[in-house]
Structure 1
């Protein structure tokens, strides 16, 4: 993990393969999610503000967010940090990079 809490797809893969439970969200659109997903809960970026109450109970815990390439999840991370979430991790490169592993 780097200094700003972002993680690589390799780190995400290790986390998934560990079998441990973790808070994992996908901020892509439903059609993208249907095409391919990594088992994350879908909250499209456009819905994040209206659904933030779903994340409130886990505000102090580590939250991992991904999208297609890392841009939308980066914006989601920034928004959550502005809302007081401190342990938000953006998956760099998104699902595109993950599929290259």
Structure 2
């Protein structure tokens, strides 16, 4: 069976493949277009210690209470757009976004980048990566 015959016969599989591929590529492409850089745990530590980076945890409040980076600000992703003004005073500092696994961090970073913040980063792997490297968490 040739490629075109396969695509015609199993068009629904091919369409599903295209949709899933587009969904998987959307996050990294959005980050790239908005100038969001994924950073590892040690780059985040350096920004926090040497450049007074602000950490924004976009986890839900229940998740945040189970553990978060010291002095992190909890603004759940769903409410971030409405609370950007709270972060205006930190506009000149690096802002590092995190969540439990890192999957929401980049979306939060994009929201801030669209509001004119320039030094915006997403913690790759989120708090799971932070814990894996045995770094401390604060519990609320």
**TM bracket (short chain):** 0.7 to 0.9
1:25 is aligned to 56
The root-mean-square deviation of aligned C-alpha atoms, in Å, is 2.0
Contact (CA 8 Å) 2:102, 2:124: kept in 1 or not?
yes
Q: Which has the higher contact order (CA 8 A, sep 6+)?
A: 1
Q: Distance in 1 between matches of 2:52 and 2:117?
A: 19
- Secondary structure of the residue aligned to 1:6 is strand
TM-score norm. by structure 2 comes to 0.62
Matched residue, 1:12: 44
Number of residue pairs matched by the alignment: 98
Return 5+ residue gaps in structure 1 as ranges: none
Alignment partners' CA distance in 2, 1:43 and 1:56: 14
Pairing partner for 2:97 from 49, 55, 65:
65
Unaligned 5+ runs, structure 2: 1-34, 134-140
2:118 aligns with one of 61, 74, 86: 86
Q: Larger radius of gyration, structure 1 or 2?
A: 2
Counterpart for residue 34 of structure 1:
65
Q: Could you tell me the TM-score, scaled by structure 1's length?
A: 0.83
User: Does structure 1 retain, via aligned residues, the 8 Å contact 2:96–2:122?
Assistant: yes
Runs of 4+ in 1 over 3 A off after TM superposition: 13-16, 18-21
Give the CA deviation at 1:100: 0.8
In terms of fraction of residues, the more helix-rich structure is 2
